[in-house]
Each structure stands twice: as C-alpha cells, then as structure tokens.
C-alpha cells in the first residue's frame, strides 16, 4: 500500500465509535462504473476476514447498492425524481408522451400547432386573431368579411386564395451604417384574379372613426405594396388593384 494509503488506514484505526464508508458505484455523467478506493478495500478485507478479497468479492459482500433515486413514487419530490426512479428501477413508463408534454409545455404547444395547421379549420396557428373572432374569419357566415362587397367580388372571380403566408428578404440599406438584411413576414388575407390580373386585399380591424381612415391607409400603404410586389413576383402576373378592407367600418379602400 502506498504511503498515503497507509497513513489513512492508521488514522482510521485510531478512531473510536462508528464510521461509515461508501463509494459511488456508477458515474452518471460519464456513464461508467466506478470502483472503491484502496482504503475501502482494506477496510473490507479486515471486516470480512477476506485478506485477499477482490472487487468482485466486495460487490457480493455489500449486497444491493443503495441508490439516491427515490424508492417509490411517493418519495419523489418533483418530476426529475420521478424520471430518475423510472430509469434506475427499470419499471415500464406508461403514456410517456403525455408525461413529456406535461414537463415541457413548449413541446405540447408545438404538437398542438402541427395538428391544427394540418386540419381544415381556420385556427390561431393559421393567423386567426381570437379577439377579432368572426370579423376576420373568412369562413364565418356572420363575419364582416363574408358580408363585404369585396368578398362577393372574390367569390365571383376566376380564382381566389385566402391567408397566404408571406416572407421576403429586405436588403440592407446602403445609406444606413451597419445596416443588415431583414426578413419580413406576414399573411396576405385575400388574393383573387379578375380578367387575368390580380387583386390583393388586406383586412384591418382598427377601430377608428371613418374620418381617420386616410391616416390608416397612409400607414399601411407600404405593407400592402410589399404584398403586391411579392404576389406579382410569385405568380408572374400583374397586380392591378390592391386595397384595405376595414372590418369595423365595413369599408373597402383602394390604395
């Protein structure tokens, strides 16, 4: 035995009373087995009267390892303890998906969004504004959109699309220092074709008096122009009309 190990054993021999020795049997971070120290091995040989006892003899003599994992579900303080117990005991985990989704809400929301976007319903994951409700839902029979003259025009058109995802890259502005490209995203509410050209419509729920509509038109003009440019480049046909439909005022304004 080395000098350090010998001195440790001499120190232990001088102690009076009870002493508990333990060692970590498995390293969770590296996922590898660990073995007792020389001092632990020496104490084992003395107490067991196995002067040449080996590592294998120690494991047989000690019996089942004492785990830091809870012994039953009632002893678990939180979900981490529960999972640790399952991993250490090897018991089957029933409905593991639900347990994972409870522990990680963002995964649950992601699963819900995939299911709703795959459905035929118009949901918040498709751009539905819950506060607007029927005002912006083009499928709602009593909604402002369905009652509007612009929607009636769209119904009579050659072809129409609703809720079209929009994304484009805005180049960096050479006149601004340290300017970087910007990704612009949005949803084109309505596009329909009349006589070989396209009409782009964006719904707005701003609750303003009608005499304030010109201010809103000026505010949204650039956004609508971007939508029109994007759609024209996408379909390869001209956009000859673009406008804003204000649901609160039930007014369609060409821009």
pTM to 2 decimal places:
0.46
User: pLDDT by residue (tens digit) across 34-92?
Assistant: 878 887 888 888 888 888 888 788 888 887 666 677 778 788 878 778 777 777 776 67
CATH of domain 131-254: 3.90.320.10
Which distant-in-sequence residues (6+ apart) come within 8 Å of 255 by Cβ? 217, 220, 221, 224, 225, 242, 243, 244
**Do 193 and 239 touch, CB atoms closer than 8 A?**
no
**2 pLDDT exceeds 90?**
no
- The segment(s) of the chain belonging to CATH 3.90.320.10 are 131-254
Nearest to 247 by CA among 132, 164, 140: 132
Nearest to 161 by CA among 130, 194, 193: 193
Nearest to 160 by CA among 235, 54, 106: 235
User: pLDDT by residue (tens digit) across 93-132?
Assistant: 777 788 788 878 888 888 888 888 788 777 776 666 666 5
User: pLDDT by residue (tens digit) across 125-160?
Assistant: 666 666 655 555 655 666 778 888 999 999 999 999
- Block residue for tokens 């039953």: 72
| C-alpha count within 13 angstroms, C-beta hemisphere, residue 207 | 3
Higher-pLDDT residue of 135, 176: 176
Please give the sequence-ordered ranges of beta strands (E in DSSP) within the chain, or none if there are none: 26-27, 32-33, 159-170, 182-194, 197-204, 239-246, 251-254
């Amino acid at each position: 035995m080395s000098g350090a190990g010998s001195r440790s054993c001499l120190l232990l021999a001088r102690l009076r009373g009870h002493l508990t020795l333990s060692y970590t049997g498995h390293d969770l971070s590296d996922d590898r087995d660990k073995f007792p120290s020389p001092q632990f091995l020496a104490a084992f040989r003395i107490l067991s009267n196995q002067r040449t006892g080996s590592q294998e003899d120690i494991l047989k003599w000690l019996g089942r390892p004492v785990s830091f994992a809870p012994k039953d579900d009632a002893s678990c303080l939180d979900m981490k303890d529960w999972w640790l117990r399952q991993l250490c005991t090897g018991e089957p985990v029933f409905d593991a998906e639900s347990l994972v989704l409870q522990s990680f809400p963002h995964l649950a929301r992601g699963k819900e969004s995939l299911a709703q976007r795959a459905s035929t319903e118009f949901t918040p994951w498709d751009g539905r504004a819950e506060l607007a409700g029927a005002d912006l839902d083009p499928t709602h029979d009593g909604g402002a959109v369905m009652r509007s003259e612009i929607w009636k025009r769209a119904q009579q058109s050659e072809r129409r699309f609703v809720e079209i995802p929009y994304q484009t890259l805005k180049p960096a502005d050479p006149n601004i220092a340290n300017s970087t490209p910007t990704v612009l995203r949005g949803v084109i509410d309505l596009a329909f074709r009349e006589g070989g050209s396209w009409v782009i419509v964006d719904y707005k729920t701003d609750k303003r008096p009608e005499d304030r509509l010109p201010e809103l038109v000026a505010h949204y003009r650039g956004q609508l122009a971007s939508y029109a440019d994007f759609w024209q480049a996408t379909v390869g046909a001209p956009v000859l009309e673009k406008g804003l439909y204000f649901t609160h005022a039930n007014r369609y304004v060409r821009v």
